[in-house]
Structure formats: structure tokens, C-alpha cells
Amino acid sequence: MPLFEIKNLTYYYPETARPALQNIHLAIEEGEFVLVVGGSGSGKSSLARALTGLIPDFYGGRIGGQVLLKGQNIQTLDRRQIAGTVGMVFQDPEQQLVMTGVQAEIAFGLENLGLPPAEMFRRVAEVVSFLNLTPIKLSFTAGLSGGQKQKLALASILAMQPGVLILDEPTSQLDPAAAEEFFNLIKRLNEEMNFTIILVEQRLERCFHLADRVLVMENGSIVQDGSPAAAAAWQCARGLPFVPPVAALFARAGSPSVPLTVKEGRLLVKKMFYRSTPAEISLDNAKQERPADRTPVIDVEDLWFSYPNGNEVLHGVDLKVYSGEFVALLGENAAGKTTLLKHLVGLLKPDRGRVRILERDTRRTTPQELAHFVGYLSQNPNDYLFQATVADELRFTLTNLGLAEGDRIDRVLEKLALESFRAANPRDLSSGERQRVALASVMVAKPQLLVLDEPTRGLD
């Protein structure tokens, strides 16, 4: 008997005419590692929710067909029964963090399962050690970085020891090193502890080859179900992008074989194009000089900042950015990236030092004043979505800043491929679609400076 069996599943979210899932037939065996890929709005998150019984129980809407968990209709099981078997980590970790402290958050699910205090203490200690959360175990959840919150959400699920982990883009807020560590961790859980893993992910270069099966989704349906190699070859033959970058590169080069990892690609290159003498490559690293009289649009001098809990995050930061530059801010989780960006839009003020944006000192300029010139997109798109339609979200920005509408809304919706969602409620959209709406609500004001905090989260 399969662990999960889906029979002819079709699902509509409330007040929508387009099915989020249609005619799904799927069986998943215990111990399998299944990767789910596809574009924004293809039904990946909806499938994950169906496997946890959250639709229609939590989200409402209309459903047809069946989802069976160990032979039982998941809609007839109570939440405690499901939670004992299936754990889910959502795209947005803040959706499932309810306690104020890290250890209390991990223990919360165990309390709901009615475990004895001694067993709860043991499990919390185990998962803190397993996920290397010791440095933050006494911290408040509100002060954690996005990546730390994501690891905490996983910890709270692992502590309940479910046999199934459903992970909806769990690395969207992790830095590359932490993401690779995370994927290695879940592979260990799969191989050594026989966890069934169902992973929805966009960072395919680090996880595609780890899966036993890959499901490709499109318009609410599963259009391909096969091994990673078969799924990659099938997609490359059709020009679909949901493959590791190395596979896409070889496909574009006309290679008859499609490698899944850099190691496989290197071996294939050696076999196909081996040269006894490497070609000489010359790189011009000449530094581009800026005119001495240019005024930076961002001018940060000796910036120091600590949060009220005493955690000193920024230490003497100096930064100059000039008009027309495209600057990438890199660093590990909790390195201070988001804190620095909040200083650039006036949401935080320096303890020491100075921040000038377009020649305006942020100490003497309110965030509302800076919003006329600076567009800011935070990590969480839900911070921006509170109107009834997508068009109203953009219109709110223009009204709030006293700007004439003209054709601004039409142009931005077209640029971000959102025309078909003009009258849609933003909260009914997929995570990637909501991210694009949030970006559109910033871009519609045509700011001189765009400050984007992980803007591709949830995007294919």
C-alpha cells in the first residue's frame, strides 16, 4: 500500500474559476524522496497542502477526488493523527512561528501532542544540537534573521518526529552554504532514518540529483513524473527551465547527454572536449574609475548599529553607491544584510555614523519622505498586500505618494507579466505571483533607487 495515494484530485480556491489542481493521480511510497518543480502558480504549493490535509479544511474552496494517507481519506483524519505522521515547513516561516522564544517554539508542537516534560526536553535538546541552533536557542524569535527563522520552523517539525517531511521552498531565505547544508541534512534523514521527503524547490542545482523522483507541474497538473535524469532530459527537449543550471547549459550547447551536477558536467566535458594543453584565457580586471565629481546616491560612513537586546549587527560600515550602479549585497544568514538595507530606507537609524540617501541625512528625513525617492521591497511580500485587487495595490502606492496614475499601472503590470491578475485578490495568488505584485507596487512609483531584500524568493 502506498504511503500517499491521490485519485483524480481537482481543487479550486474560494471564489476562483481556475483550478489550482486538476486531475492529479499520484502514488508515493514510504521512504521516497520526491522533488516537485514548476513555474509560479503551477500548483506546487497546492499539492503540498493537499498532502497535509490543509485543503480544503484550512483554505476552503471546492475539492474533488481523494487524498489517501496509509489507505485512509485524509479529510476524515483529525489534525493530531496527521501531525503525528506528516510535518510541513511553509515558504514563509513566519506563518508557523507562534511563540516568542526559540526553545518554546520547538516545544510548542510537542505540548500539543501531550508529551511528558522529560521527553519534550530531550527532543528539544536533540533538535537544537542536530540543526546547530545552540547559538540562538535563548533568543527571541522576532530578532532572528529570515534564514534562522526557516531553520527554526524545520526544527519545530523535526521535534515531533513525523515520518513524512513536506518542504515548500525551505531554503528560500538561506544563504548558499546553509542551503547546501540543509539539503545534505534532509538527504541524511531520507537515507539513514527512512523519512519520506516531498520537496518543492527552485534551487535545483543542489537538490535535483538527490531525489528519487521528480514531478514537473504545469497549470495544476503533473505533466512529467520520472527519475531526475529522465525529468531533466524531458524538460530540456521541450525548453523548460526547471533543471539544474549545468543541465540547461549542456542542453543549449546541443549535448546529447544532460548532466545533473557540476561533477558530472566536468566529466562529460573531459570526455567530449579534452585538450592536452589548456587554452590561454586573458581576463581584463581593470577597475573602472568613477569621475571624481560624482555624488553618490548612497553614502554610508562609519555606520554602527545594535538592536535593543544588545546584539551589535553593524560595525563601522562604509559604503558608496553611484547612480546607475547595480550592487549585490552578499553574506551569510544574520550577517546584517537586512539591517543595512533598513538603514538605507530610514526604517532604522544609526547608533553612530551617518547614512545619506540622495544627499538626505536619514536622521533628519522620515521614511515617508524617503519613500518618494526610494523603493523598498522586504523579504516578505505579504507586508505589502492588503487591497482587494492587484490593481488597487498599485493604485494605493500612487495615491499614498500623491502621484498621478496615467498609464503607470498598465505599464508595470505588463512589464511583470501580471496583466491577467489585474482584478485578482493578491492573497489568492501563489507565493511567486505575490512577490511580483509586491515588486510592482514598489516599481509603479518609479523610484530613483530600488532596495530589494531577497526579491526572487518564491520565483521560478
pTM for the structure as a whole: 0.70
The H-or-E segment that residue 314 falls in is strand 312-321
User: Which residue, chain included where needed, has cell 483529525?
Assistant: 78
Residue 434, pLDDT > 90, answer no
Q: What is the pLDDT of residue 458?
A: 61
Residues 6 or more apart whose Cβ sits within 8 Å of residue 234: 216, 224, 226
> Is residue 37 domain-resident?
yes
For residues 46 and 54, give the distance between their C-alpha atoms in angstroms, rounded to a whole number. Answer: 9
Report the CATH number that the domain containing residue 449 is assigned in CATH: 3.40.50.300
Residues 247 and 166 in one domain: yes
pLDDT at position 234 = 93
Q: Is residue 198 part of a domain?
A: yes
**Residue 288 within a domain:** no
- If pLDDT is split at 50, 70 and 90, which confidence band does 281 have? very low
- pLDDT at residue 272 above 80? no
* One domain, residues 351 and 324: yes
Amino acid present at 300:
V
Using DSSP's 3-state secondary structure scheme, residue 24 falls into strand
Number of domains in the chain: 3
pLDDT in tens, 142-191: 888 877 888 899 899 999 989 999 999 888 777 787 788 888 888 988 99
Residues 238 and 349 in one domain: no
pLDDT at position 385 is 86
Residue 330: domain span: 293-369
Strands 352-357 and 312-321 turn out to be unpaired
What single-letter amino acid sits at 165?
Answer: L
449 and 332 assigned to the same domain:
no
* Residue whose C-alpha is closest to residue 384's, from 449, 429, 319: 429
User: Does residue 49 sit within a domain?
Assistant: yes
Q: Which residue has the higher pLDDT, 85 or 311?
A: 85
User: pLDDT digit string (tens) for 39-90?
Assistant: 988 999 999 999 999 998 888 899 999 999 999 999 999 888 898 899 999 8
Report, as an integer, the average pLDDT of 365-378.
Answer: 92
Last residue of a domain, one of 253, 276, 303: 253
322, 395: one domain: no
